[in-house]
Amino acid sequence: MLTHAKPVAAVTGALALAVSLTACGGSSAASDEKVVTVYSADGLKGEKGDGWYDKVFADFEKETGIKVKYVEGGSGEMVQRALREKSNTQADVIVTLPPFIQQAGSKGLLQKYTPKGADQVDGADKAADGSWTSVVNNYFGFIHNKKELPEAPGTWEALLDAKFENRLQYSTPGVAGDGTAVLIKAMHDFGGQAPAMEYLKKLQANNVGPSSSTSKLAPKVDKGELLVANGDVQMNFAQARSMPNLAIWFPAKEGGKPTTFALPYAAGLVDKAPHTENGRKLLDFMLSEGAQREVSAVGGGFPARKDIKATDANAIELARIIDGVEIFEPDWADIDANLSSYVDAWKSATGS
């Protein structure tokens, strides 16, 4: 039964807006600009301008006069982009899923800032050193086409059936947050790296191939090009407004219970950000009571603040979706330290 959400998920193809910023991060000219640049995993921006980001960014600009410039991609992709730009910082705020937010911190991409309202965020959903905090909570999951496949497959083993050949796809581990989540869940459900890789090697016979963005898979499932894909609850719930054939499910190991784990959208202030003060203001705004109350109603996610008790229709449906699913907590420190070796093991097992 859902108690609260912890650590995650990415809508539409990568949207990279040309951002013209002063080359030297933190200059007085740059800091005076009424702009803030956000690098984010996809999932919170609506395909029709109706997502949580769309509402929050518009409200933020109206209240502060600060325009949000937005760059979107896979979780790992956004961290790698910020890392490449470290000597000429372009982003002010980065929003990404675990374990990539931890990776951003360990690579020195984040500066410490505790947004207003962060005291209401559960301790597991924010960095102990104040370098990041969750702004929207979320859970990893899968989707199926409920028109062509009315009943969810139910188990990992069911996905090995020949009927899923070239009609199953999951996003790329190490690149996409939800793709990395496939590895994390498989290692948990199968009881370790070796049995998980043995399973994923078998699953590769049905897998269409790599995808850098998880959000691109949902339209394929909705159209019936795919029967099954990975995703996350917030993103897929929001997408289902315009994709009526999507249904969310959680694989179980044969004989076991369906499981999931928290994958929050976690935000941090970028080190040497060109518009540091504007970045702080945006983080404060995203954690404000008003913005948090719209997480479920507008964004289809779970509020990061535990003092916000959502009671809207979406919140009720989201609680129903997650009800009865066993929620485990990954060892994020281990995953941060060993992610490369886990991804390498996956590449070796699948020939990717």
Tens of pLDDT, residues 78-104: 999 999 999 999 999 999 999 999 999
DSSP three-state, residue 135: strand
pLDDT range class, residue 333, cuts 50, 70, 90: confident
Half-sphere exposure of 291 (CA within 13 A, CB side): 26
For residue 169, give every residue at least 6 positions away whose Cβ sits within 8 Å of its Cβ, in sequence order, or none.
207, 208, 209, 211, 217, 220, 226, 228, 229
Q: What is the pTM of this model?
A: 0.82
Positions of E strands within 86-239:
93-96, 110-111, 133-137, 140-145, 168-169, 228-232
Tens of pLDDT, residues 280-301: 999 999 999 999 999 999 999 9
Tens of pLDDT, residues 19-58: 333 334 444 445 568 999 999 999 999 888 999 999 999 9
Q: Which two tokens stand for residue 15?
A: 């949207």
Cα 284 from Cα 282, distance rounded (Å): 5
Q: DSSP string of 57-84?
A: HHHHHHHH-PEEEEEEE-HHHHHHHHHH
Contact in structure between 227 and 168 (CB atoms under 8 Å): yes
Cross-strand partners of 258: 252
Phi and psi torsions of 151, nearest 5°: -100, 135
> Residue 193: what pLDDT?
97
E strand or H helix at 211: none
Mean of the per-residue pLDDT values of the chain? 91
Contact in structure between 318 and 237 (CB atoms under 8 Å): yes
Q: What is the CA radius of gyration of the chain?
A: 19
